[in-house]
């Protein structure tokens, strides 16, 4: 039996300093405690040296300053629902978990503004806004558990991105702790404030430029009328064609979501949302506005779907019926977890007009590699989410799944698209950045990152290729971490 690992003296000192600054109860360092924080919602793994739970911006700043003094990496984390490995501490260091900072500080209904801490759950904010007839438009499918801070880090979207835009369109101002421990405020309650938009630069930077400790959010008024349509198709290709046809006819729904047959057969028995099990694909389309406008737009949408092969179009006007249809969409990813030992969720973007060809290619690639794939995604803005199901205990399966994921991302890029729509680059897709950016582009991004602080110590090995101590690819990062003798 191997003897227990001895904690290095340097780490003991780091732990002591953090305990003195934040309180011993807010600092974890035992291996059995750290194991819970070595992963997010991806298949990547790496254990931090220590985990801290700040309650204030000052706590975050103190933890960052201590990490700087000890020359160890800092990695921010929310609920751990990220889908690109962005919160995986690949080089160890201090993992700053922001879930204790979960207060809604202000709701200004008159000016349609909310001020929140980063650990506020997206759905909790929506519930607090309900009495005011307001909503915060970005609504990721994981909104029951994902945090506003995580949404800002990854510029998250959701089903209603098509009409409302992603997170960056709804963040007015942020308070940020920089890599040297300074606290700054960026942006303003006034939209389109003058000067360089550093707020916009931070949104989507995945915790590489700073840690958001407070956010001022733009709210929108709930529409007086809403209708949800379920269009049923024989094939994914027909449903994909319908997406462009609807928009070509002059209607921009607030949401257009697609579920293919594989995901329908997984989610419907569990949720009973009303999706037909024999459908090749369904489109979940939502139209909102004044009542007369909703009726007119819905008629256009229905006719466009029928003209492109829909065998049936159902309409849901009542809130309970709409919620049942959306419950199937929101619960789809979780349902996959009960249907397969493991799955790998991808995130790519293609032009809407290329959806039929790219979806056909996705299906071909999955057959070539021998894996089942369930598709549920934001069809309206061409944001694909193939879910590759596999058994990680089968030798070589994980490696082949990662290869398949790369082939699917390459197909998206070749179609004129991109390697992410809302999940971020993180650890997962750093090696793909060279497909969509020139070396000059990447060098400019590196320069920006260095301007905020040392990139090899603030969420290292994320977003950009290369980096001190960072290997290439997926499993290679963890292999390098373990080979270096990191304390795990």
What pLDDT, in 10s, does the model give residues 386-428? 999 999 999 999 999 999 999 999 999 999 999 999 999 999 8
Question: Is residue 384 helix, strand or coil?
Answer: strand
**Model pLDDT, residue 487:** 28
Q: How many CA atoms lie within 13 A of 151 on its CB side?
A: 36
**CB count, 10 Å around CB of 331?**
16
Please tell me whether residues 111 and 214 are part of one structural domain.
Answer: yes
Distance from C-alpha of 390 to C-alpha of 387, rounded to nearest angstrom: 10
Distance from C-alpha of 187 to C-alpha of 193, rounded to nearest angstrom: 7
What pLDDT, in 10s, does the model give residues 342-401? 999 999 999 999 999 999 999 999 999 999 999 999 999 999 999 999 999 999 999 999
Which of these, 129, 127, 124, lies nearest to 109 by C-alpha position?
129
| Phi, psi (rounded to 5 degrees) for 454 | -60, 120
- Structural domain contains residue 29: no
- Structural domain contains residue 144: yes
Distance from C-alpha of 313 to C-alpha of 284, rounded to nearest angstrom: 10
Distance from C-alpha of 201 to C-alpha of 137, rounded to nearest angstrom: 20
β partners of residue 253: none
**Cα 331–347–147 angle (5° rounding)?**
55
Q: Are 264 and 379 in contact (CB under 8 A)?
A: no
Please tell me whether residues 181 and 121 are part of one structural domain.
Answer: yes
- Structural domain contains residue 436: no
**Model pLDDT, residue 9:** 75
Question: Is residue 115 helix, strand or coil?
Answer: strand
**CB count, 10 Å around CB of 7?**
15
What CATH number should be reported for the domain holding residue 193? 3.30.465.10
What CATH number should be reported for the domain holding residue 381? 3.30.70.2740
Distance from C-alpha of 385 to C-alpha of 373, rounded to nearest angstrom: 10
- Structural domain contains residue 190: yes
- State the DSSP H helix or E strand holding residue 293, giving kind and residue range, or none if neither: helix 291-307
What pLDDT, in 10s, does the model give residues 131-154? 999 999 999 988 999 999 999 999
**Model pLDDT, residue 6:** 53
Please tell me whether residues 254 and 270 are part of one structural domain.
Answer: yes
On average, the pLDDT of the chain sits at 92
Q: Are 18 and 66 in contact (CB under 8 A)?
A: yes
- Structural domain contains residue 26: no
pLDDT bracket for residue 477 (50, 70, 90): very low
The whole-number average pLDDT for the span 311-331 is 91
Please tell me whether residues 198 and 114 are part of one structural domain.
Answer: yes
**Model pLDDT, residue 42:** 86
Please tell me whether residues 292 and 263 are part of one structural domain.
Answer: yes
Q: Which residues are CB-neighbours of 387 under 8 A, at least 6 positions away?
A: 263, 333, 336, 343, 344, 345, 346, 373, 374, 375, 376
Please tell me whether residues 173 and 280 are part of one structural domain.
Answer: no
Task: Please give the sequence-ordered ranges of beta strands (E in DSSP) within 331-470, or none if there are none.
Answer: 342-345, 348-349, 372-378, 383-384, 386-390
pTM greater than the 0.85 cutoff: yes
Please tell me whether residues 320 and 346 are part of one structural domain.
Answer: no
Q: Are 455 and 208 in contact (CB under 8 A)?
A: yes
Q: What is the DSSP letter of 419?
A: S
Please tell me whether residues 328 and 255 are part of one structural domain.
Answer: yes
Please tell me whether residues 250 and 297 are part of one structural domain.
Answer: yes
Q: Which domain-ending residue is among 221, 250, 284?
A: 221
**Model pLDDT, residue 478:** 40
Q: Which domain-ending residue is among 174, 204, 221?
A: 221
Distance from C-alpha of 199 to C-alpha of 266, rounded to nearest angstrom: 40
DSSP secondary structure letters along 164-226: H--GGGGEEEEEEE-TTS-EEEEE-SSTT-SS--HHHHHTTSTTSS-EEEEEEEE-EEPPSEE
Q: Which domain-ending residue is among 176, 201, 221?
A: 221
Please tell me whether residues 115 and 215 are part of one structural domain.
Answer: yes
Distance from C-alpha of 252 to C-alpha of 247, rounded to nearest angstrom: 6
- Structural domain contains residue 452: no
pLDDT bracket for residue 471 (50, 70, 90): low
What pLDDT, in 10s, does the model give residues 206-216? 999 999 999 99
pLDDT bracket for residue 161 (50, 70, 90): confident
Distance from C-alpha of 101 to C-alpha of 150, rounded to nearest angstrom: 12
Q: Which residues are CB-neighbours of 437 under 8 A, at least 6 positions away?
A: 445
**Model pLDDT, residue 112:** 97
Please tell me whether residues 283 and 246 are part of one structural domain.
Answer: yes
Q: Which residues are CB-neighbours of 119 under 8 A, at least 6 positions away?
A: 78, 98, 99, 100, 101, 102, 147, 148, 149
- How is the chain split among helix, strand and coil, in percent rounded to 5? 40, 20, 40
| Phi, psi (rounded to 5 degrees) for 121 | -70, 135
Work out how many domains the chain is built from and give that number: 3
Domain with 213 in it: 104-221
**Model pLDDT, residue 299:** 97
DSSP secondary structure letters along 305-325: HHHTT-SEEEEE-SHHHHHHH
Please tell me whether residues 260 and 344 are part of one structural domain.
Answer: no
Distance from C-alpha of 142 to C-alpha of 456, rounded to nearest angstrom: 30
- Structural domain contains residue 49: no
DSSP secondary structure letters along 251-269: ---SEEEEEEHHHHHHHHH
Flag whether pLDDT at 472 surpasses 70.
no
- Structural domain contains residue 191: yes
Q: Listing from the earlier edge strand, what are the strands of the sheet with 74-77?
A: 27-28, 50-52, 94-97, 74-77
Flag whether pLDDT at 155 surpasses 50.
yes
Flag whether pLDDT at 98 surpasses 90.
yes
The whole-number average pLDDT for the span 468-476 is 59
Share of the chain above pLDDT 90, in %: 84
pLDDT bracket for residue 480 (50, 70, 90): very low
What CATH number should be reported for the domain holding residue 311? 3.30.70.2190
- Cβ-in-10-Å burial (0-12, 13-18, 19+) of 436 comes to middle
């Amino acid at each position: 039996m191997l003897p227990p690992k001895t904690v290095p003296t340097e780490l003991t000192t780091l732990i002591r300093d953090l305990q003195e600054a934040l309180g011993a109860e807010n600092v974890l360092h035992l291996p059995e405690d750290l194991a819970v924080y070595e992963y997010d919602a991806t298949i990547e793994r790496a254990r931090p040296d220590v985990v801290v739970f700040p309650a204030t911006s000052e706590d975050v700043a103190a933890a960052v300053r201590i990490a700087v003094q000890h020359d160890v990496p800092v990695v921010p984390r929310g609920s751990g629902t990220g889908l690109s490995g962005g919160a995986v501490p690949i080089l160890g260091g201090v993992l700053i978990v922001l879930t204790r900072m979960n207060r809604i500080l202000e709701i200004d209904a008159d000016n349609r503004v909310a001020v929140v801490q980063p650990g506020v759950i997206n759905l909790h904010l929506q519930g607090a806004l309900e009495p005011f007839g307001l909503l915060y438009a970005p609504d990721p499918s994981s909104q029951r558990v994902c945090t506003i801070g995580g949404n800002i880090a990854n510029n998250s979207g959701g089903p209603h991105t098509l009409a409302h835009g992603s997170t960056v369109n709804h963040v007015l101002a942020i308070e940020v702790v920089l890599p040297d421990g300074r606290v700054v405020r960026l942006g303003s309650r006034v939209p389109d404030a003058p000067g360089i938009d550093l707020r916009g630069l931070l949104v989507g930077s995945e915790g590489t430029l700073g840690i958001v400790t407070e956010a001022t959010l733009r709210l929108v008024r709930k529409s007086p009328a809403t209708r949800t349509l379920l269009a049923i198709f024989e094939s994914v290709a027909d449903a994909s064609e319908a997406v462009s046809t609807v928009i070509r006819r002059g209607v921009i729904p607030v949401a257009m979501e697609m579920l293919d047959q594989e995901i329908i057969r997984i989610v419907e028995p569990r949720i009973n949302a009303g999706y037909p099990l024999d459908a090749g694909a369904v489109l979940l389309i939502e139209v909102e506005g004044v009542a007369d406008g909703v009726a007119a737009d819905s008629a256009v949408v229905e006719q466009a779907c029928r003209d492109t092969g829909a065998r049936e179009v159902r309409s849901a006007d009542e809130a309970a019926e709409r919620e049942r249809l959306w419950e199937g969409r929101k619960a789809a990813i979780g349902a996959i977890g009960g249907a397969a030992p493991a799955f790998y969720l991808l995130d790519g973007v293609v032009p809407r007009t290329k959806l039929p060809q790219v979806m056909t290619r996705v299906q071909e690639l999955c057959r070539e590699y021998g894996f089942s794939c369930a598709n549920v995604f934001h069809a309206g803005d061409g944001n694909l989410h193939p879910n590759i199901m596999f058994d990680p205990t089968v030798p070589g399966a994980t490696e082949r799944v990662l290869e398949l994921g790369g082939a699917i991302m390459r197909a998206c890029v070749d179609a004129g698209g991109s390697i992410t729509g809302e999940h971020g680059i993180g650890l997962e897709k750093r090696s793909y950045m060279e497909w969509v950016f020139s070396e000059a582009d990447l060098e400019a991004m590196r320069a920006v990152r260095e301007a905020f602080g040392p990139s090899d110590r603030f969420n290292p090995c994320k977003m950009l290729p290369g980096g001190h101590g960072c290997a290439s690819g997926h499993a290679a990062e963890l292999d390098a971490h373990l080979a270096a003798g990191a304390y795990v």
